[in-house]
Amino acid sequence: MFTDPSLQRELGRVAVRKNVPAGTELMAVGDAITHIPIVEKGSLRILAQDRHGRERYLYHILPGETCATSLTCCVAKRMSSVRAVVEEDAELLMVPVRYVDEWMAWPEWRKYVNEVQAQRFEELLEAFEVVAFHKLDEQLWSYLLKRAQATGGRTLQLTHQQIADELGSPREVITRLLQQLRAEGRVALGRGVVELRQAQMAG
């Protein structure tokens, strides 16, 4: 991930390695941010939450990446504004927040942080565009594709209610749209399972 030997040594000295199973809530809204997670293996799903507790999917953190929102909150000394859930079994490097600023002396770390924040900003703009300008069926398909890409598989262990909660939609509407996708041959549905068709994934 990093090539600078001194940065590698420092990362090995202070970062805590952590194995976290799928489904674990790594961070909740309002939590104090003590460590920044860098994903070595697996993936994390990031969700926004409004004051009524309703959630909305934002983006995934994949291997080699970290959470830009956590970086921003720790620099501003604010509590977490998002919820982080382990999408698939993850191996994480947990970096104490005090080092985020200190390591800016390393050009490679500074470049890494800037690139992560730029990438997340683009993803948030994309998420906003999908919500603001795309119909719910397109939002649903985009959401399913991102979940599948994050896990590296076509079979998603998801209930209609879970999807509805993360897209901010009534469950009945999601069920109807999933049935529509099934009729189009884009998904297969089972109890608590949504399977994306390979041809659609490749396309």
**Model confidence pLDDT, tens digit, residues 129-171:** 655 546 888 889 999 999 999 988 899 999 999 999 998 888 8
d(CA 91, CA 108): 22
| CATH entry 3.20.20.105 includes domain 135-202 | no
Query: Which one-letter DSSP state was computed for residue 105?
Result: G
Over the stretch 75-129, which tens digit does the pLDDT of each residue have?
A: 667 788 889 999 999 999 999 998 988 999 999 999 999 998 888 777 777 766 6
Neighbours of 60 (CB within 10 A): 18
Q: What is the pTM of this model?
A: 0.67
Region(s) of the chain under CATH 2.60.120.10 = 5-132
Per CATH, the number for 5-132 is 2.60.120.10
Q: 55 φ, ψ to 5°?
A: -110, 160
Long-range contacts of 133-141 (CB under 8 A, 24+ apart): 136/167, 136/169, 136/173, 136/177, 137/177, 137/180, 137/181, 139/167, 140/167, 140/174, 140/177, 140/178, 140/181, 141/181, 141/186
Dihedral of CA atoms 157, 40, 83, 113 in degrees, nearest 10, equals -140
Region(s) of the chain under CATH 1.10.10.10 = 135-202
